[in-house]
Amino acid sequence: MKLFVKELWDLRWRGIVLFVFTLLTGYFVLANHEWFMSMVDISQIEQGLKQAPFLNKILDMETLNRQLLEILNNIDFYVWSQWFGKNLYQLILLAIIILAFPLFARETEQKTHYFLLSHRTRKNIFLNKIMAGFFSIFLIIAAGSILPAMLAPFHGFDFGLLKAFMYALHLTISSLLLFSVVVFFSITFDDVIKPVIASVIVFITLGLAGNMFGMYYLDIYRYMTGVDIFFTDSIQAIALLLILLIALLVLFGSWHIFKNKDF
């Protein structure tokens, strides 16, 4: 428990800044529907919809394009597209990199692992760092998911705690996979710059994979943004279980490397 608290303390400023920034951004986006709508470029949105192949599987795109203006003026669509489908998941991606990359790489670069290993087992160090890092990310996910439910009564859109839970579940499990990738690089590399570069490359590649090969179900950001929740009002349980399994496998691989690494 002491190590868990220490790790949280080490992450406190990064976590607090990201947490507050997420809340401020959320309030600005969710409370200013009319102002944002006055700046919308319809043609850009139409182009974006055409480039999202998975939408063709769950929606009649021809009807969607005809009704686009009506849909955009729907404040519930605005809440999803501008918050969960855009700003929140981007903020979570940023938080994952900022909070996860120094967990192990910083200790290696500063050669402080020797001190930790002289007082605790590698298993204890690994588990507490993982729990502290992802707990910090989860707090931001929870705040960002609940915020629309808190603002809904004051700004005329329909969003309850059940919907907040659904989005948070998608975000949490998808984020765990991306978090596990950054942790893997943080353990593998011996400085704090390479994990960031490698993570950004992987995040971009994951975003391109589904579109490039037409396999929309491989697009991790489809699940992070809750596309299926908004358009079909359903959780993709099988996909989330597979994502969770892959995340745990990556974390297990990271543990194996950390357990056998020479410091």
- pLDDT tens digit sequence for 56-111: 555 555 555 555 666 666 778 888 888 999 899 999 999 999 999 988 888 777 77
The Cα–Cα gap between 215 and 227 comes to: 15
Q: Which residue has the tokens 């994951």?
A: 206
Q: What is the pLDDT of residue 39?
A: 64
Question: Helices in the chain by DSSP H: which ranges?
Answer: 2-10, 12-30, 33-37, 42-50, 53-58, 61-66, 68-72, 75-79, 88-100, 102-110, 113-119, 122-155, 161-188, 193-213, 220-224, 227-232, 237-260
CA angle 69, 29, 48 (to 5 degrees): 45
Three-state secondary-structure class, residue 65: helix
Q: What is the pLDDT of residue 98?
A: 94
Question: Is the pLDDT confidence value at 16 over 90?
Answer: yes
Confidence of residue 45 (pLDDT cuts 50, 70, 90): low
- Contacts from 26-29 at CB under 8 Å and sequence distance 24+? 26/83, 26/87, 26/88, 26/143, 26/144, 26/147, 26/148, 26/151, 27/147, 27/151, 29/82, 29/83, 29/87
The Cα–Cα gap between 213 and 77 comes to: 28
Q: What is the pLDDT of residue 81?
A: 84
Of 263, 240, 252, nearest in space to 130 by CA: 252
pLDDT in tens, 119-176: 788 899 999 999 999 999 999 999 999 999 999 888 777 888 999 999 999 999 999 9
Task: Identify the weakest region by mean pLDDT among 46-50, 185-189, 201-205, 242-246.
Answer: 46-50
What is the secondary structure of 20-36 as a DSSP string? HHHHHHHHHHHT-HHHH
Confidence of residue 201 (pLDDT cuts 50, 70, 90): very high
Q: What is the pLDDT of residue 130?
A: 95
Q: Which residue has the tokens 């994979």?
A: 209
Predicted TM-score (pTM) of this structure: 0.86
Q: What is the pLDDT of residue 93?
A: 95
Cα first-last separation, the chain: 24
pLDDT in tens, 217-250: 778 898 999 988 988 888 999 999 999 999 999 9
Residues 228, 222: contact at Cβ < 8 Å? yes
Q: How far is CA 201 from CA 9, 75, 178, 181, in A?
A: 29, 34, 12, 11
Q: What is the pLDDT of residue 224?
A: 93
pLDDT in tens, 179-199: 999 999 999 988 888 999 999
The Cα–Cα gap between 5 and 170 comes to: 27
The Cα–Cα gap between 58 and 120 comes to: 51
Domain segments of the chain as ranges: 2-260
Q: What is the pLDDT of residue 61?
A: 54
Of 113, 135, 137, nearest in space to 124 by CA: 113
